[in-house]
Structure 1
C-alpha cells in the first residue's frame, strides 16, 4: 500500500526541490555557526587557563592546553570552510533551476557533485551530506557514487597533526610575557622541556605536577565535546 501511495504521489518540481534543499542548507549553516560560537566560547576559558599555568611556571600544563587550542582553531577554520561550501552548493543549485526552466528538468552539475563529495569527508556533516547525495542523485543533479567511495569518505576524520611551531606560537601569544619574567635559565629550560615532550610524557608531567588535574582534564574534555 505504501509503495502504491509513493508511486501515485506527484514528484516535486525543480523549484520545490530547490526550496527544500536550500532550507536544509541554511539549517546546516546555522548549526555550524552555533558550533563555532560554542568552541570560541570554550577557547576563552582555555586561554585563561594557559596564562594561569604560565604564572605557576607550569609550562607542561600550558603546552598541553595550547595543543588543545591549536586543534580548536583548526576545527573552527574547517567549519568556516564547510559553511562556505554549503553556500556555494546553494548558489549552484539556483543556477541549475534557472536552466531547468528552459530544458524542463534538472541537469547534472559537476560543481555541486564536487562540493558534495568534499563535504562528505567533513566529520561534522558527513552523514547529512550523504543524505543530500542520495536526494540529488535521485533528482539527476549529480551522478551516483560507488559505495566504496562513500565509505572511505565517511571513515576519513581529516585530523591534522599539530606542529610544535603552532603550539609554541600560542604559548608565546598567551604566556610569553609571563614566561619572559622568569629567570633566563629557568625559562629556557622549561620551554625546552615542554617542546621535547611526547604526548605520553606530556600527560605524565601533568599528572605529576598539576594540583588541579581534574579541572585541566575537564576543560580539555569540554573542548573535545564542542568540536565533535
Structure 2
C-alpha cells in the first residue's frame, strides 16, 4: 500500500525542493552552532585544568590538556568553515529559484557541486551531505560525485606538528601566566615529586576531562 501511495503522491516541484533543502541546511547550521557552543564550554574547563596543573608543576598533564585544547580550536575553525559553506549552498539554491521558474526545472550548478563535494569530506557532516548529494543529483542540480575520502586532517603528521607548535603558545598564555604569579617559595615546593596516589588521581581527572572534550568534538 505504501508503494502505491508513493507512486500516486505528486513529486515536489523545483521550488518545493529548494525550500526543503534550504530548511535542512538551516537545521544543520543550528546543529553546528550547538556543537561549537558545547566545545567552547568544555574548553573553559580545560583551561581551568591547565592552570591547576601548572600550579602543581605538573607540566606533563598541562601539555596533554593544551594539546587537546588546540585540537578543539581547530575543530571549531573547521565547523565554522562548514557552516559558511552550507550557507553558501543555500544562497546559490535561492538564486536557482528564479531560473527554475523560467525553465521549469532545476539547472546544474558547478558552484553547488563544488561546495557539496568539499562538505562530503568533513567528518562531522559527511553522511548528511552524501544524502544531499544523492537528492541533488537526482534533481539535476549537480552531477554524480564519487568521493569516499573523508577529511582526516586532525590526524595527519603535518597537523600534529602544527599542534605541537601551538601547544607551547597555549601553555605560555595559560599555564605560564599562572606559574609566574606564584611566590618563589611555592614554585620551588611545587617542583618536589608528588605522591603516587595524587598522580593517579590527577591522571584520572585528566582522562575524564579529555574524554568529555573528545565527546563534544565528535
Q: Deviations over 1:156-178 (max 9, x none)?
A: 43323243220000001101223
- Say if 1:207 and 1:137 are closer, same or farther in 2 by CA, change over 3 A: farther
RMSD of Structure 2 on Structure 1 (CA): 2.3
1:152 to 134, 149, 152: 149
Residue 46 (structure 1) shift: 0.3
SS at match of 2:149: helix
- The reply on whether 1:166 has 2:166 as its aligned counterpart is yes
Alignment of 1:132-147 (within 5 A): 132-146=132-146
1:215 to 205, 214, 218: 205
Alignment of 1:194-205 (within 5 A): none
Matches of 2:51 and 2:204 in 1, distance apart?
18
- Say if 1:207 and 1:26 are closer, same or farther in 2 by CA, change over 3 A: farther
Partner of 1:5: 5
4+ aligned runs moved over 6 Å, structure 1: none
With structure 2 as the length reference, what TM-score do the two structures score?
0.86
Which consecutive residues of structure 1, in runs of 5 or more, have no partner in the other structure? 191-205
Residue 19 (structure 1) shift: 1.1
Matches of 1:207 and 1:119 in 2, distance apart?
47
- 2:71–2:163 contact (8 Å) kept in structure 1: no
- Say if 1:90 and 1:178 are closer, same or farther in 2 by CA, change over 3 A: same
Matches of 1:177 and 1:213 in 2, distance apart?
23
With structure 1 as the length reference, what TM-score do the two structures score?
0.83
Matches of 2:62 and 2:24 in 1, distance apart?
41
Which consecutive residues of structure 2, in runs of 5 or more, have no partner in the other structure? none
Q: Deviations over 1:130-172 (max 9, x none)?
A: 00001100110000123xx2x224xx43323243220000001
Matches of 1:123 and 1:81 in 2, distance apart?
13
Matches of 2:178 and 2:93 in 1, distance apart?
53
- Say if 1:111 and 1:207 are closer, same or farther in 2 by CA, change over 3 A: farther
